[in-house]
Amino acid sequence: MSWLPFELLFALRYLRPKRTFVSMITLISVVGVVLGVAVLIIVISVMTGFDLQLRDRIIGFESHLIIRQYGGPMKDYRQLGEFVRQQPDVRGVSPFIEGPIVIETQQGEAYARIAAPYLRGVDSETSSEVSDIQDSVVIGEFRAIDGNGLLIGSELARRLSLNVGDPLAVYSMSLLREVRKALKRDPSGQQSAPLADDYVVEGVFDIGYYEYNANGMVCSLYNAQDLFSLGDQVHGLHVMLEDPEMAADIKETLLTQLGPGYVVATWLERNETIFNALVVEKNMIRFLLFFIVLVAAFGITSSMITFVVQKTREIGMLKALGASSRQVVWVFMSQSVFVGLIGVSIGLLLGLQAVKYRNEFLAFMNRTMDFSLFPADIYGFAQLPAVVVPADLWIICGGSLFICVLAGVFPAINAGRLRPVEALRHE
C-alpha cells in the first residue's frame, strides 16, 4: 500500500479496529448507515413496485381511455369505434356496459346469499384488445359468456361459495325499479311481478387486484344490453394505446375531432387521487428515512471529534514534519469517506437481498405472528410487490454518502487548524 498517498495511508491506519470507545462509536455509525441505506432501498422499492403493479392492474381492467357520450348511452358506437381505431397510436377499441346489479345464489332457500357486485358487459371479439380479463380466467372459459354465462371475480366466488356451473339470479336496476312499481300498484304482492334473470357461473377470473376480484362480474355485451334495457346502445368505448403516457395528448386530439357531445377520460384522471397519494407518500417516506442516515452521520461526527482530540499530538508531529493543513484535513476526511463507502456498500447489498427475498420473509413473519403484515383485502395484492429502479439507488446511495462525507467536514477542518506548537503541548 506504499503507492497510496500518505493521507489515505494514515486514514486506513487510524480506522484499524482497536478495543477503544472511539472504535465502538465508529462501528455503531457504520451500522447506522447500513440500516439507513438498506431500509431506504427496501421501502422505496416496495412502494415503486406497488405503484407500478397497481397501475398495471387498473389499466388491465379499465384501459387507457374511456369515451362516453355526453348525457346518455352511446348509439353509434360501431362507427365511432372504427373511427377511433384508425387514429395513430391506438392499439384497440371495444364497447362496454357497466353498472351495479344484485345477485342471489340458488343453493337452496335456506342457504341463498345476496351480493351487489359491479357488472361489466364486454364484446368477446374485441375485449382482448383493451383488457386482461380474457387472460385472467383461472377456472372455466372466457368464451362461455356468449351464452347465458357469467364470469365472476375469485374473491367474490370464494365469499359466496360459488363454482363453475352454479346458477345465479340477477336483478338489474331496471328490473328492481319495475318490481318497486309493481309493489306500489299492489302492496299485497298478489299480482305478478317481473322475475329475475337466470344466469350460470361459467368462469372465475383473477385480475390480480383485490377490489376487482371481490366486486367484479363480466357478461356478454348482448346480455348486459338486455339487463340494463339499452337496446342496441352501450355506455362507452374502452381504448387501449401503444403508450399509456400518451393518454393525455390523444385525449385532446379525440376531443377536438369528436366534438362537445363526447367525454374522454384517461386512466390517470380516473385514478388521480390514489396515484397522487402514492407519489406524496413515497416522497415523504424517502425524506423521513433519510433521517436514519442523518443520525448515523452524527455518530461519525462524534467519533471523529473524539478521534481528533486523541490524535492531537500526532497531528502536531505531522505538521512539524511539513504536512500542510490541507493534507491533515484530507486524512480525517478520508476516514468519513471510508466509513460512508463501507456503510453504503453493505447497506446496498443488504437492501437488494432483502428485496429479493421479501415474500419469503413476509410469509415467515405471517406464520410466526397472529396477524397478516400485508393483508390482501386492504392492499389488493396477494404478494408484496417491489421494483428496484437504478435512479432510486443512485439517489439513496449518493445522498447517504454525501451526508457521511459532510459529517466529517467539521472535525477535519478543526484538525487542520491546529498549530504544531499547541498540538505538541497537548497531553
Q: What is the phi-psi region of residue 70: left when phi exceeds 0, alpha when psi lies from -120 to 50, beta otherwise?
A: beta
Give per-residue pLDDT as tens, 198-247.
888 888 888 877 778 888 899 888 888 888 888 888 999 999 988 888 88
The pTM assigned to this predicted structure is 0.67
pLDDT at 348: 92
Q: Find the range with the poorest average confidence among 132-141, 151-160, 379-388.
A: 379-388
Mean pLDDT along residues 23-47: 81
Looking at per-residue pLDDT, the higher value among 212 and 94 belongs to 94
pLDDT grade for 70, boundaries at 50, 70 and 90? confident
Give per-residue pLDDT as tens, 396-413.
888 888 888 887 777 777
Could you tell me the three cell numbers for 264? 374522454
pLDDT at 369: 73
Q: What is the Cα 173 distance to its own chain's centre?
A: 35
Domain boundaries, the chain: 6-56+274-425, 95-231
pLDDT at 178: 67
- Share of the chain residues as helix, strand and coil, in percent rounded to the nearest 5: 60, 15, 25
Mean pLDDT along residues 306-333: 67
Q: Find the range with the poorest average confidence among 111-125, 145-159, 176-190, 298-312.
A: 176-190
Looking at per-residue pLDDT, the higher value among 3 and 215 belongs to 215
Q: What residues does 149 pair with on adjacent strands? A: 200
pLDDT grade for 267, boundaries at 50, 70 and 90? confident
Decide if pLDDT at 309 tops 80. no
Name which of 87, 303, 104 is nearest 199 in CA terms. Answer: 104
pLDDT at 349: 94
Those residues whose C-beta lies under 8 Å from the C-beta of residue 237, and which sit 6 or more positions away, are 66, 67, 74, 77, 80, 81, 84, 93, 94, 95, 96
Mean pLDDT along residues 86-91: 87
Could you tell me the three cell numbers for 2? 506504499
Give the angle subtended at the CA of 211 by the CAs of 170 and 358, to the nearest 5°.
145
For the beta carbon of residue 368, count every other beta carbon within 10 angstroms: 7
Residue appearing with cell numbers 346518455: 72
Mean pLDDT computed over every residue of the chain: 78
The proportion of the chain whose per-residue pLDDT surpasses 90, expressed as a percent, equals 4
Strands 90-105 and 236-241: antiparallel
Q: Find the range with the poorest average confidence among 2-6, 98-102, 121-125, 150-154.
A: 2-6
Could you tell me the three cell numbers for 85? 381505431
Q: Find the range with the poorest average confidence among 67-71, 366-370, 395-399.
A: 366-370
Q: What is the Cα 175 distance to its own chain's centre?
A: 39
Instruction: Measure the CA–CA gap between 341 and 410, rounded to whole angstroms.
Output: 19
